[in-house]
Chain A
Amino acid sequence: MSWRPVKAVVGREMSKLFRQRARLISSMVRPMIWLLVIGSGVGSMLPGQQQEGYLTFLVPGILAMTLLFASLLSALTLVYDKEFGVMRMMMIAPIAHYWIVLSKLIAATLTAMVQAILLLVLLLVLGLVSVKIAASLLLPAVLTAICCAAIGGLIAVWSKSIDNFAVIMNFFIFPVFFLSGALYPVSQLPEMFRYIVLVNPFSYGVDLLKHAVPNVSTDFSILTDIAVLVSFSTVAILIACWRFSRESVHEPLFHRATGKR
């Protein structure tokens, strides 16, 4: 197996990302609104020193949110390519079909990391993080990005159309984000929600990012976070590859495109 096709799929996604500068810039707007508007608003309701502490607490959560949105939207290209017929150009190539999914998930991870690095630069400029903290957030961000890409891959291989993907995303993305401890400590959630946080793999990414920021309370150990992220990502990617390699998944591509047999 040559790496050239994988590089081609990843390269295509990256060149599209850098070409769409508006997408890159707008991807910074959402986290900045959360951080500066929601963070300041909610923070102002907290007593004394906790006000500043809340902004620091939000940094890993907002970084995780950027990774989650970027990865999921990037995984959407799997569905987009199916819908617009471009996927057939990849399916007819002499590579095993699971490599297409793997390549797309590598691209989703890289896309998320590009946006995460941009956000960290912004946070550095605004003085919300130090260079040391920004650097120590990078490795946890990679693991979280892979986990989010895996979630996106799972959704994408089960989606038949972009509309379908959007519905599933809205159904998943908000519960996954809000029930992850990104915005508030898990210990403060009602008991029922805490169980959901425990089964949400994204929570462990958020927690791992929190470990990189001093004075931010965490809910799990670093080892637990890494073990869950690695195990979940591996299983999810394997399932996505298996599902995508099934003929019943890609066969409609050919009939839908031509509308005939």
Chain B
Amino acid sequence: MASNLAIKTQGLTKQYGQALAVNGLDLEIAAGQFYGLLGPNGAGKSTTIHMLTTMTSATSGDAWIDGQAIADDPVAIRSTVGLVFQDSALDRTMSIDENLQFAAAMYNLNPQQADQRIEELLSVFSLQKQRHKKLLALSGGQRRAVDIARGVLHKPKVLFLDEPTIGLDLPNRRAIWRFVEQLRREEGMTVFLTTHYLEEAAACDQVDFIQQGQLQQGGSPKELTEQLGAYILEVDTVEPEVIKEKLSTKFGMPIQEDQQLSFKIEASDVDFQQLQYSLGDAITAMQWRKPNLNDVYLWTFCAPQQGDAS
């Protein structure tokens, strides 16, 4: 395995009874990269993380973290990785300090190292004054920040973030992403992210879309959005079938959500104002914009199949 790879998997598979949660996953993630694994619920994202962090073993296939095969020495792998669970793993009856001191001791950090690191991490989130407060007394955002601090206490080489900002408001989400960016910049950490907030994944160096345990497509967010087309055209209409018939010959079948049709426009020279005029009263609203990762997601997982008539 090339030494500059932080994560590599070959045919990684996890089967629960008859169900294939992850099916022959091949990944190569370079050291220091910000990587996103995206997909719908039940796609196999969390199972992949749990296999890579030795919380569950693979049914078949191999995986390496920082050049070490995970099956060879799971304990050593756990000292290399940090995992922030989707929901808190902290003890709510204990204070921030007690939780982090406990986690630090579990990682065999001596009390001086632990104190210094905890102080450093709490200062990033301006939580020094709350250090001795019980977790129950903190807001959701502050608790999440402590969870992330717990995940990086031991300065892991690879940090796994399983939907880290779920349920948080915008300022807290932004604070967490600033911190992750700082970790990458200052500590060279490789970050493996799963999220349903795709605008957050736009900051990734590389993303892969996964469904039913199999990779669908991947690349940098810029490449993926460019590949999708020049524009996304969204048309609100009371007569979706009429509009679909009129535009699908030119732009292909749209994605339909209730009375909104979404077309992928590959040509960059479409005269949208003329188009809007030609559609007349059949439309109630129309907008065109550059594609983003949400569009890539929709066109990956919700795209109309060939031969879809409606």
Which of B53, B87, B89, B101 has its CB near the most chain A CB atoms (within 10 A)? B89
Complex Cα gap A5–B88 (Å): 20
Enumerate chain B residues within 8 angstroms of A260, measured Cβ to Cβ. Answer: 41-42, 46
Given A2-B108, A93-B106, the answer on whether A86 and B75 have CB atoms closer than 8 Å is no
A90 sits at the interface (CB 8 A) = yes
10 A-B pairs whose Cβ atoms sit less than 8 Å apart in the complex: A8-B105, A11-B105, A12-B94, A12-B98, A88-B85, A93-B106, A95-B75, A247-B56, A251-B55, A257-B87
Q: Which chain A residue has the least Cβ–Cβ distance from B19?
A: A261
Q: Among residues 90 to 129 in chain A, which have CB atoms less than 8 Å away from a CB atom of chain B?
A: 90-96
B68 sits at the interface (CB 8 A) = no
Given A94-B75, A94-B108, A254-B50, the answer on whether A88 and B89 have CB atoms closer than 8 Å is yes
Q: Which chain B residue has the least Cβ–Cβ distance from A7?
A: B105
Enumerate chain B residues within 8 angstroms of A247, measured Cβ to Cβ. Answer: 56-57
- A258 close to B46 (CB less than 8 A): yes
Complex Cα gap A226–B202 (Å): 65
B78 sits at the interface (CB 8 A) = yes
What is the CB-to-nearest-CB distance from A157 to chain B, in angstroms, rounded to a whole number?
17
- A85 close to B56 (CB less than 8 A): no
Top 5 A-B pairs, shortest CB-CB distance: A8-B105, A93-B106, A94-B79, A94-B78, A88-B89
Complex Cα gap A93–B80 (Å): 10
What is the CB-to-nearest-CB distance from B82 to chain A, in angstroms, rounded to a whole number?
8
Complex Cα gap A39–B21 (Å): 60
What is the CB-to-nearest-CB distance from A87 to chain B, in angstroms, rounded to a whole number?
8
- A92 close to B55 (CB less than 8 A): yes
Partner pick for B87 among A12, A85, A91, CB 8 A cutoff? A85
The contact string, 1 if C-beta is below 8 Å from chain B, for chain A 1-22, is 0101101110110011000000
Interface size range on B against A: 35 or more
Given A247-B56, A254-B50, the answer on whether A92 and B75 have CB atoms closer than 8 Å is no
Enumerate chain B residues within 8 angstroms of A85, measured Cβ to Cβ. Answer: 85, 87-89
- B76 close to A92 (CB less than 8 A): no
B162 sits at the interface (CB 8 A) = yes
Given A247-B56, A261-B47, the answer on whether A95 and B89 have CB atoms closer than 8 Å is no
A89 sits at the interface (CB 8 A) = yes
Which of A91, A94, A250 has its CB near the most chain B CB atoms (within 10 A)? A94
Enumerate chain B residues within 8 angstroms of A12, measured Cβ to Cβ. Answer: 91, 94, 98, 102
- B47 close to A5 (CB less than 8 A): no
What is the CB-to-nearest-CB distance from B104 to chain A, in angstroms, rounded to a whole number?
8
The contact string, 1 if C-beta is below 8 Å from chain A, for chain B 246-269, is 000000000000000000000000
A-B contact count (CB 8 A): 90
What is the CB-to-nearest-CB distance from A246 to chain B, in angstroms, rounded to a whole number?
11
Enumerate chain A residues within 8 angstroms of B108, measured Cβ to Cβ. Answer: 2, 4-5, 94
B191 sits at the interface (CB 8 A) = no
Which of A85, A96, A247, A258 has its CB near the most chain B CB atoms (within 10 A)? A258
Q: Which chain B residue has the least Cβ–Cβ distance from A8?
A: B105
Partner pick for B78 among A9, A86, A93, A251, CB 8 A cutoff? A93
Which of A2, A95, A260 has its CB near the most chain B CB atoms (within 10 A)? A260
B221 sits at the interface (CB 8 A) = no
What is the CB-to-nearest-CB distance from B305 to chain A, in angstroms, rounded to a whole number?
25
B36 sits at the interface (CB 8 A) = no
- A89 close to B55 (CB less than 8 A): no
Enumerate chain B residues within 8 angstroms of A5, measured Cβ to Cβ. Answer: 105-108
- A8 close to B57 (CB less than 8 A): no
Enumerate chain A residues within 8 angstroms of B103, measured Cβ to Cβ. Answer: 89, 93
- A4 close to B105 (CB less than 8 A): yes
Beyond the given pairs A4-B108, A85-B85, A92-B89, 9 more chain A to chain B contacts, judged by CB atoms under 8 angstroms and listed by A's residue number, are A12-B94, A86-B91, A89-B106, A92-B53, A96-B75, A258-B85, A260-B42, A260-B46, A261-B45
Enumerate chain A residues within 8 angstroms of B107, measured Cβ to Cβ. Answer: 5, 93-94
Complex Cα gap A158–B236 (Å): 56
What is the CB-to-nearest-CB distance from B66 to chain A, in angstroms, rounded to a whole number?
13
Given A5-B106, A12-B102, A92-B78, the answer on whether A261 and B86 have CB atoms closer than 8 Å is no
Enumerate chain B residues within 8 angstroms of A2, measured Cβ to Cβ. Answer: 108
B117 sits at the interface (CB 8 A) = no
The contact string, 1 if C-beta is below 8 Å from chain A, for chain B 13-41, is 00010000100000000000000000001
The contact string, 1 if C-beta is below 8 Å from chain B, for chain A 44-87, is 00000000000000000000000000000000000000001110
Enumerate chain B residues within 8 angstroms of A84, measured Cβ to Cβ. Answer: 91-92
